[in-house]
Amino acid sequence: MTTPSSHPVAGQALHFIIYSRSYCHLCEDLREALRQALGDIPAEIEMVDVDADEALVARYDELVPVLMGQGGDGQWQELCHYHLDKPRLQAFVAGMK
């Protein structure tokens, strides 16, 4: 399972993973909606193909796309799946400041 080791610190980019699949229009839509919602907030967005890892398929198969955000404590949390949950994203970003 992909889990970047760095965690957000003041002045650094936020870190997100979108668990996705090839040829998934919802995955591309979620990434674009995330970029638009973040505006000029620095962020690293990693796309991870769940079909490349059996454990990811077992966990996220029917939920793709899934947006994960890395909190200030370094832990990953699921923010939404299928479509961007803007209020949840805003609360997550506000908690990182």
Does residue 35 sit within a domain?
yes
CA separation for the pair 5, 41 (Å, rounded): 20
Confidence of residue 13 (pLDDT cuts 50, 70, 90): confident
Tokens of 34: 């995330």
Confidence of residue 5 (pLDDT cuts 50, 70, 90): very low
Provide the domain limits for residue 44: 20-84
Structure confidence at residue 72 (pLDDT): 84
Does residue 58 sit within a domain?
yes
Structure confidence at residue 11 (pLDDT): 58
Number of domains comprising the chain = 1
Does residue 92 sit within a domain?
no
In this prediction, residues 20-39 reach a mean pLDDT of 96
Confidence of residue 7 (pLDDT cuts 50, 70, 90): very low
* Residue 63, domain CATH: 3.40.30.10
Question: Mean pLDDT, the chain, as a whole number?
Answer: 89
Does residue 55 sit within a domain?
yes
Does residue 14 sit within a domain?
no
